[in-house]
A and B are shown apart, each in its own frame.
Chain A
């Protein structure tokens, strides 16, 4: 029998064994090919990247991708080789030369490679088309889809050459393994002698301590300016924290977990039960022989979770912040006479008048005196401390009336906020904050005396709010006063600005209208648009997310498949154990319970660790690197929660498939 037909027969006979391998390799190739096609798609790149930013990111990510594909394929290759060592030993015993065995392995790898390549290229092309379509819709791009080929032949060639290269590397490593291992070792490879287990107390404790210190350091960021993150610096502290946690994780998994499990055996009441007496020793045994894989998976899943949750947060946050930066669908400052009527005329071309509201807000700036004035009072008065540094702002509160406030909120359809308001008395005001005070303090109860022409009006801050009705481009230090006080101010103060806020369903998400409006207002910097801002953020960041998305998907495939292979292999290695348990009187139900517990432990270590790491990393990222415009609301963590939930469900699917396959392996025996 020649090696090719032998390889074919082998693969066909062990189809279920190899199916997942082929599937996972083809998934990896799918992602690789879709990515390569995308990075070679000039039609697309021209649209989303004006400055070559996306191109250079593509290059950086492709390095990761290549490294990753090589790592993943050699891991799986190694895994399957180990499982077949005995079989290869038998070939050798029968008189096959090692060269023939090697050529058998290479033929098998080539067959698998071809299958996976064909599947990967087709599904990669579909995935690429899907991404192009999705991006086009999401970003409102006008792209002629017909111009983008289903198969980009340069990308196909690139992928084929790359996979051939990987297969060549695998062949080399298989050759090394075959020629280095003696016949005796080949035949007896699977039953390598068990070393007696040692439990190192010191490294167990050290692992525990390092992790706690690492997390403690992460939490230190809450101390604000006093924390190490500010006094020593963000990046050195970040690096230190990451190193502590990585080192801690390594020791925790390799030493602390087996040590703790060993100690838990002392608790006789819980240990001498039908499940624990099997699962606890099995856990110790497996964690010791699989510590490296488990550590790698844990770090991988921590990275995946952190990247996806930070990614979700950094996309969601600016979009959530648009509600503050541009609260109205369109808003501008009247700088010339006739602008309002011009704007109305323009809007009427796009939407019927009855679907749009126009609100003109007159803002009066008033100076004030108090023991301590809030930061917003004087923000922007010196160069460098505000958004628009080149515009010099005079200090003062910018007053609007309570009824204007309410009608603006209603026009912006923020009725939930309106519902919570109570009418302002004449000696009260609401202060709009730019961002929450860093020390957590609040101006509520402070008294500010507004200076007007015939004296002063002392106002008590009834509440502070982050729900500004007017964009920061047009008003900072906004103070909401009662209608009576507003009239009083109005009569003796020069008008600061007149702001027009336009809202309504009819004009939402209309880029063309925004452009026309911008032309009408001579590109005024005071023109702000809600949908426009959202679209801007989407198109600026979508390519980044798309590219990182490729990596995240790949990580998931890898983590899940490695966990699957690892568990299947452990369970089929100890198939005899389950048989003997069954003979002793363990019912199938109990055996299933034991299996589930064993597999769950191995799935939950990387997931839970990854989750905790991700939570701490997200906290640090949010507190240290993001502007605090929205305060601390739980809704902010919504995307993070979604990212985590998605991860959890992917893990769950893999867990479910793994459990199912293990049931089949063990109980069909």
Chain B
């Protein structure tokens, strides 16, 4: 598989005297991969997500996505880059409250200036796949947390981004909604070949990915691969690894 994202020696220092939030982090993500980022609070997960998604700039080091060096982007071209390449899912859903679910999912497509008919068809077919077709005319406030998060995932995936960033997507969900969402992401990865980079501290959520990078103090301290195809086994090995790390604290 060709490389989609490459981070090389990425460092981010917020305060001159303080510890770096990211310390010479290097890794690659292949096209079509579903990768998990784990770590305790303050380990640099959010900073990593911010610099990868052009919202923040690293102090040093380089990041390439689709062979574009993010350093070369200015304010406006970064916005265009996000529009064309990146999708986001957040713990708090961040749906626009005044828009219906249909309109929420349609926003990224209008930004790409697609014709209305095409937008409607794309929204509908994705909503069906995500099980929210009957909620399209409702407002976010009328939906359950799980439905909202699926709507938010649909909004991120509908524009077929090169890579989808998911920041603790199951953090606010109950276990059955979380499972539904993770299955949806898993299928999207498998069937639509969407590359997903998911930040989570939940071993269960992480077990849906194919590879996990564990962060501590701004560095990658461990990489776990899902060698077999059994999610249950992968979960066990993640949990074991986490316990080991915890006992070392």
Interface residues of A (CB under 8 A from B): 193-194, 196-197, 268-269, 271-274, 277-278, 281-282, 284-286, 574, 576-577, 579-590
Contacts and interface: CB of A to CB of B under 8 A. Distances in A.
Contacts of A271: 116
Classify the interface of chain A: helix, strand, loop or mixed: helix
10 contacts: A193-B141, A197-B139, A274-B107, A277-B103, A576-B94, A577-B94, A579-B94, A585-B111, A587-B79, A587-B80
B106 A194 contact: no
Given A584-B108, A587-B80, 9 more contacts: A194-B142, A268-B116, A281-B96, A285-B97, A574-B98, A580-B94, A585-B79, A586-B83, A587-B76
A495 B98 CA distance: 84
Contacts of B107: 274, 277-278, 581, 584
Contacts of A196: 138-139, 142
Contacts of B106: 272, 277
B139 A194 contact: yes
B97 A577 contact: yes
B82 interface: yes
Interface string B78-97: 01111110101010101011
Interface in B102-132: 103, 106-111, 113-114, 116-117, 119-120
A277 B92 CA distance: 22
Contact of A281 (B92, B103, B117, B142): B103
B100 interface: yes
Contact of A588 (B75, B84, B109): B75
A588 B79 CA distance: 8
A193 B88 CA distance: 26
A577 B109 CA distance: 17
B76 A588 contact: yes
Nearest to B108: A584
Contact of B110 (A272, A284, A580, A583): A272
A609 B197 CA distance: 52
Contacts of B109: 272
Contacts of A581: 96, 107
B53 interface: yes
Nearest to A283: B98
Contacts of B94: 576-577, 579-580
Contacts of B80: 585, 587
Interface residues of B, number: 37
Contact of A274 (B96, B98, B110): B110
Contacts of A584: 82-83, 88, 107-108, 111
B245 interface: no
Closest 10 CB pairs of A and B: A585-B83, A285-B98, A587-B79, A268-B116, A585-B82, A194-B141, A272-B116, A580-B94, A281-B99, A281-B98
Contacts of A268: 116-117, 120
A582 B79 contact: yes
B240 interface: no
Contacts of A576: 92, 94
Nearest to A587: B79
A272 B119 contact: yes
B79 A269 contact: no
Which of A197, A268, A286, A583: most chain B Cβ within 10 A? A583
Contacts of B53: 583
A37 B10 CA distance: 68
Contacts of B98: 281-282, 284-286, 574
B110 A589 contact: no
B86 A585 contact: yes
Contact of B79 (A272, A278, A286, A586): A586
Contacts of A286: 98
A277 B110 contact: yes
A318 B82 CA distance: 65
Contacts, number: 92
B89 to A, nearest CB: 11
A574 B117 CA distance: 29
Nearest to B155: A584
Contacts of A285: 97-98
Contacts of B192: none
B189 to A, nearest CB: 21
A504 to B, nearest CB: 68
Contacts of B40: none
Contacts of B108: 584-585
Which of A269, A277, A579: most chain B Cβ within 10 A? A277
Contacts of B79: 582, 585-588, 590
A581 B98 CA distance: 13
Which of B94, B106, B114: most chain A Cβ within 10 A? B94
A588 B76 CA distance: 7
A508 to B, nearest CB: 63
Nearest to A272: B116
B55 interface: yes
B106 to A, nearest CB: 6
Nearest to A284: B98
Which of B107, B108, B119, B142: most chain A Cβ within 10 A? B107
Contacts of B113: 273-274
A581 B95 CA distance: 10
B119 A583 contact: no
Contacts of B99: 277-278, 281-282
A584 B87 CA distance: 7
A587 B110 CA distance: 14
Nearest to A289: B98
Contacts of A282: 98-99
A196 B117 CA distance: 27
Which of A286, A584, A589: most chain B Cβ within 10 A? A584
A587 B75 contact: yes
Given A196-B139, A285-B97, A274 B111 contact: yes
A273 B106 CA distance: 10
A182 to B, nearest CB: 22
Contact of B96 (A193, A278, A284, A590): A278
A225 to B, nearest CB: 53
Contacts of A577: 94, 96-97
Nearest to B92: A576
Interface in B126-156: 138-139, 141-142
B49 to A, nearest CB: 11
Nearest to B97: A194
Which of B75, B98, B113, B119: most chain A Cβ within 10 A? B98
A271 B92 CA distance: 27
A285 B139 CA distance: 11
Nearest to B83: A585
A269 B117 CA distance: 9
Nearest to B117: A268
B55 A269 contact: no
Contacts of A574: 97-98
